[in-house]
Structure 1
């Protein structure tokens, strides 16, 4: 029987025991967590849908293991493969993980730290971007629930020397942000995040500084999240300071928002709300939000020479955001609101005057941006208690309008003038991306001329009531283009007005008004008893149905047209003493040329042509205007009487377009142009 000696058995046992120990020792000595790097890279690439790699993996084992990865790299997606820089890089990423909560299905991360993270974020003009990942959306939705992970699972997040570049072709932006965090200072303080940004946004230089609570504090429902933002985009500045209660649950804020800049229309890239051009402004108010609305409440400030206050509420959850604005001014300069009709707001500068002198349009020609209007729906009310402007005799303003799918419904734009009202309504419906179909109406209701004269000229006029209506149907995108294409007309009545020497310069401008006064040849203190104008507008050309200026001793009739397509006027006025004979003419003249600077041209041929036109009869249906006069200024007015007299006893010696009423006992006949010129020639010899 062959046996094994004790030393041999001992040696085998020793080898059997020491071999695993040595193997474990060697494994520990030569162990490298980098062996798992290919597996990590494979899993990360599959999860993100683009190539993702790390170079090294380190794990410090314990009850709270510390995992460190080096040289993190996330490549650009295939559509952005031509970019030289990667989508994301970081020198080091550290994660600490508690093991015991994992046994109960929870994830707790006491600390995450990332060194020198760099990100390159882009969106092209066609909408494609490099920050949308292609991993399965359902998998993404279930990741958080399956792992028990949430922001509250992380106690501390540290970012050192972060750099983020954002390029957005749609927003015309190219911005670079430097990002870092500050460490907690106490058990209650979780530190802060600091972001400094420079570059360009909306084609303008941008610089901003943001200090906020730690990103992880966003999930803390008990501690308000602090916010301190200062941003300058071009000449526009905005600051936001205060705190947010439970930001992820939309429980409210204590934030103060301040805006200032040269023009509110420049706020569009920052707010997404289209605002017409305004003068310089500064506004401060409370910014608040809940799950449905964002509101800028109880703001106060200044816009040009006007004060401005109110509340603006935005519902961003609708397909097209809805804005509700209630605005108010105690004192308003009407020029500050010029941008709402396409005019230059605020006071006119020397350079503005030079530009305006070269513009042939007498009306504002700034187009309304239809696509911008389609980006927002809104309901706006505005009241101005007192209008400060000596050039425009308006006392107060009451406006309300709505914007829906690019259409504007001007429910009211009312101005108080003395005891009367200038009331407007309009609808503007987009017909394409450039033009609106417009229906507008302006009613002049018992407007006190004495108040206008006192306000604009200091003249202490007595009485004087203005009434009438202006209507417009047109297609265009500015006041100028709408008038150039418009149909409608103006009917205006003035009863017992002030002195004509003060009235005409105030109505027509000093230079033109004085020239017309001189051509009319009337005494400087002549009072206006009646003025009637009935001028239809057809395809941008205003013609004359009726124009009558009645004083105590004279009657002035007018005819001609005002062409808003060419911005020119061709008008004739003839003044006659009230009487049966044509030989009592004091004179006639033409107003011709550009609307901005027409010429008053009396002269033999021009006067003869004007007289001939008058003798042949104006298109003047005066009695048809009586209902309008009675509605606008009251029944039994001097204008009603004056129109009756024009119809029964015309100064030209015959009814307009009718027979000779001044030849008693003789057969009536229509005067020819030659007869009128002969009569005028005879008068000039006396």
Structure 2
């Protein structure tokens, strides 16, 4: 037998490659059987879970997560869920507790039923969280504050931490908000507020037509308050094709405010078409509503357009009246800094300066009254330094025409800068005829007072304009000079009472003046009789000098001289601005031989708001002598009333002395060139 035959006989025939192992079908059938058992077990488990599951099992997890997020205890009594294309969860008896330090009852919020609808498929398809509806059934809110400013409605844990990265997740898309029978209350001693409110939504077939209504009444800032609000649904907040409508009316004591219109993007407060109107007896009463300290004003009524542009609240196209003055312009407020930053450009066509008296602590016109400590002519209302520090501001104001029968000023330009309590008023300019009174003030806070410097320049002030305001005298020429003040205090009265500086006023020729000025100053009777007979009342004005230093609130007299072609009047004495009293004398002597005059001093003494004006001993003596001689021999009665004249040579020397060392420091040229 050959070798191949041996091999063929001993070796079994090969198995075809495509033939399965004899036991593999068994293993496959066994795998399917195991998978079926596992799947059945899972299905059975799900069925069992579905039959036995209670949504309340999730309450501990939800309570813990919500409590951690809000920084206070959140509890839910029961939770119900309905799964589907629109998944709905209902939480019963939701309660949000107060933070530590507040009474447990009442809690911040209680909601009888809170219903939230979700669209799971929208989230699976990458559309974010979509919440078609949130419904609150009988919500109750109890906001509580303390005198130190702490409150139970703040959620510091929700605030974005500085430097934290911005969330890449889009915010939830919320549809309709439905509220049934909502109530709320606010008690905040810091704001002197105790308010109760009712609110609910009105549902319409069109979700865009749904409205949120709120009515609130109570007290705020010790004044009765009522609030009426009507706004669009929450769905409208994110619907740019349908502007959000709102109508708000507030009455806080005698102050009334209304806001009406639409906002294109309420979440960013952009695209506002809102009409704001407010009125009341005094703008100072707006502080509780606006947080902005405004000086006392007379009754006002102002309207304008309200918008939000580039992080600024803008009150534009403003027009109205404050007292007897019209007020127009634009106000912009940036509320995002440490304190609000206000920028205003205001103007008046006609302004009554008495309406602005509250800005220096005086009584404005129109019935508004400022509380005063003492009686006197100088405003003593204290400036509230903490309130002034609560705002930074830049205000430009122009009054085209100053009204007032006795006001010798024609127009006003003022620019005020307020930063960290420091007040700079530069310029504060008044036009007087063809001349100007230009001034600047700088008030720097020092505790509860201000360290103040002031400089005033009188540039070619029109005497004829000053005299017309008296309705008694006439005159012509130009007045020049300056005044300066360095002081401390917290009111106009204390600042002047503590002041140092002086005032220098000069008229150097080229004018004329009413002769009646000398008549009154010297009780002369001759020129008065002549004027009654038609003799001209005006005399050539040679000079006028008032050079009066101010030391510790006392204004003394270095020079007081009024020289005309007819007479010379000299003043001596002091004006005590701290005590608000005057002790002064005016002596008039005729420049020429005069018959019918009683020369001598006229004394002015007493409080500034009601001084006594009495003739001095010389005048009384001459009058008594004239009376006695008139009884004995009538023609001799004229002898005590004869003046032989003092001439006109006093001006030159007085002018030289005053110009060499004036009581008020001269203001450098070019310092008063700004006009706001």
Which of the five TM-score ranges fits, normalised by the shorter chain? 0.7 to 0.9
Distance 2:55 2:165 in 1: 25
Q: Is 1:110 aligned to residue 132 of structure 2?
A: yes
1:498 corresponds in structure 2 to: 513
Q: Is 1:568 aligned to residue 581 of structure 2?
A: yes
Distance 1:473 1:140 in 2: 45
Counterpart mapping for 1:52-451 below 5 A: 52-80=74-102, 82-104=103-125, 106-133=128-155, 150-152=171-173, 154-186=174-206, 189=208, 191-347=210-366, 359-432=374-447, 434-451=448-465
User: Could you report, residue by residue, the CA deviation over 1:633-668 in whole angstroms, capped at 9, with x for unpaired residues?
Assistant: xxxxxxxxxxxxxxxxxxxxxxxxxxxxxxxxxxxx
Tell whether the 8 Å contact from 2:270 to 2:307 is kept in structure 1 after alignment: no
Distance 1:436 1:564 in 2: 18
Secondary structure in structure 1 of the residue aligned to 2:175: coil
Counterpart mapping for 1:448-597 below 5 A: 448-457=462-471, 461-494=474-507, 495=509, 496-501=511-516, 503=517, 516=521, 518=523, 523-524=527-528, 525=531, 527=538, 529=541, 530-578=543-591, 586-597=599-610
Distance 2:67 2:386 in 1: 41
Q: CA deviation at 1:454?
A: 2.9
Tell whether the 8 Å contact from 1:97 to 1:109 is kept in structure 2 after alignment: yes
Relative distance call for 1:324 and 1:35 in structure 2 (3 A) is closer
Distance 1:38 1:546 in 2: 90
Distance 1:121 1:451 in 2: 61
Distance 1:258 1:379 in 2: 23
Structure 2 residue runs without a partner (length 5+): 1-39, 532-536, 622-645, 666-676
Q: CA deviation at 1:484?
A: 0.2
Q: CA deviation at 1:547?
A: 1.2
Secondary structure in structure 2 of the residue aligned to 1:217: helix
Q: CA deviation at 1:538?
A: 0.3
Distance 1:627 1:142 in 2: 68
Distance 1:137 1:240 in 2: 29
Counterpart mapping for 1:28-67 below 5 A: 32-67=54-89
Q: CA deviation at 1:607?
A: 7.9
Relative distance call for 1:571 and 1:624 in structure 2 (3 A) is same
Secondary structure in structure 2 of the residue aligned to 1:268: helix
Secondary structure in structure 2 of the residue aligned to 1:248: coil
Provide the aligned length of Structure 1 versus Structure 2: 582
Tell whether the 8 Å contact from 1:545 to 1:621 is kept in structure 2 after alignment: no
Q: CA deviation at 1:417?
A: 1.6
Q: CA deviation at 1:458?
A: 6.5
Q: CA deviation at 1:65?
A: 2.9
Secondary structure in structure 2 of the residue aligned to 1:109: strand
Tell whether the 8 Å contact from 1:468 to 1:628 is kept in structure 2 after alignment: no
Q: CA deviation at 1:376?
A: 1.6
Tell whether the 8 Å contact from 1:196 to 1:210 is kept in structure 2 after alignment: yes
2:657 corresponds in structure 1 to: 624
> Which piece of structure 1 moves more, 315-324 or 435-444?
315-324
Q: CA deviation at 1:101?
A: 2.9
Distance 2:362 2:158 in 1: 53
Structural RMSD (CA): 3.7
1:15 corresponds in structure 2 to: none
Tell whether the 8 Å contact from 1:588 to 1:607 is kept in structure 2 after alignment: no
Q: CA deviation at 1:222?
A: 2.9
Tell whether the 8 Å contact from 2:322 to 2:355 is kept in structure 1 after alignment: yes
Distance 2:70 2:291 in 1: 32
Q: CA deviation at 1:242?
A: 1.1
Tell whether the 8 Å contact from 1:223 to 1:246 is kept in structure 2 after alignment: no
User: Could you report, residue by residue, the CA deviation over 1:530-561 in whole angstroms, capped at 9, with x for unpaired residues?
Assistant: 33211100000011101112243432322111
Secondary structure in structure 2 of the residue aligned to 1:170: helix
Tell whether the 8 Å contact from 1:590 to 1:607 is kept in structure 2 after alignment: no
Secondary structure in structure 2 of the residue aligned to 1:440: strand
Structure 1 residue runs without a partner (length 5+): 1-17, 505-512, 609-613, 633-686
Tell whether the 8 Å contact from 2:522 to 2:589 is kept in structure 1 after alignment: no
Please identify the structure whose Cα radius of gyration is greater.
Answer: 2
Match for 1:598 among 611, 618, 637?
611
Q: CA deviation at 1:213?
A: 1.3
| Structure with greater proportional strand content | 2
Relative distance call for 1:387 and 1:21 in structure 2 (3 A) is closer
Q: CA deviation at 1:565?
A: 1.2
User: Could you report, residue by residue, the CA deviation over 1:66-98 in whole angstroms, capped at 9, with x for unpaired residues?
Assistant: 221211112212211x35311110111112222
Q: CA deviation at 1:480?
A: 1.2
Distance 2:164 2:182 in 1: 29
